[in-house]
Chain A
Amino acid sequence: QVQLQESGPGLVKPSETLSLTCTVSGGSISSFYWSWIRQPPGKGLEWIAYINYGGNTNYNPSLKSRVTISVDTSKNQFSLKLRSVTAADTAVYYCAREQWRFLFDYWGQGRLVSVSS
């Protein structure tokens, strides 16, 4: 059974960089696509970006200038960096396995990241 687990700081100061890592277990990261999705408190889902094992990436244009997604196949992990954060970036951040442009079939439990001084 594939499992995903997000890790990283739960509190980030405004203007700094949010960094999260997703560790994949029960399956290899060297197949499928891997996405980050976020959900502000009480609001809906927003897709951030995807990556595959070969480093092929796609970003949400609304966040593209501030986001970098990367993959480390040796550790079965992929990561998210979001620069210059503001309070509007406060959200639960989920990592998910994506069947390319088809569906998200496995999700992490989510990591609440608050942006506050």
Chain B
Amino acid sequence: QSVLTQPPSVSAAPGQKVTISCSGSSSNIGTNYVSWYQQLPGTAPKILIYDSNKRSSGIPDRFSGSKSDTSATLDITGLQTGDEAGYYCGAWDSRLNVWVFGGGTKLTVL
């Protein structure tokens, strides 16, 4: 069971918007930086968002992040079939003294 909680799957049609949530606690999301990673099938994770809402270099503005208290959210607008992937949130946990990740959310673009 992951320390950060994400929905196992989300789906939407091309061109639509999807929101992926990531719920944590005061020792991780509440006090440390949140990052989001995209993992296309058969590939390594790739950084999308860091510091809760900053896009990594080359990431289109269709991807955006936010944080409120002990939860974070990744929004993807204008969905494309190429966005089908697993998405993971991550943060340092100051109480456990480890990096923690969400269990991952599989995005299906219908």
Contact = CB atoms under 8 A, between A and B. Distances in A.
B24 interface: no
Contact of A47 (B35, B50, B99): B99
Contacts of A47: 98-101
Contacts of B2: 44
A107 B92 contact: no
A94 B43 CA distance: 11
Contacts of B90: 45, 103-104
Contacts of B56: 105
Interface residues of A, number: 20
A102 B50 CA distance: 8
Nearest to B49: A103
Contact size range, B:
20 to 34
B101 A104 contact: no
Interface of A: 35, 37, 43-47, 58, 60-61, 94, 101-105, 107-110
Contacts of A109: 43-44
Listed from nearest, the 5 A-B pairs whose CB atoms lie closest are: A47-B99, A101-B92, A107-B44, A103-B50, A103-B35
23 contacts: A44-B88, A45-B37, A45-B88, A45-B101, A46-B101, A47-B99, A58-B97, A61-B96, A61-B97, A101-B33, A101-B92, A102-B33, A102-B35, A102-B50, A102-B51, A102-B92, A103-B35, A103-B47, A104-B35, A104-B45, A105-B50, A107-B45, A108-B44
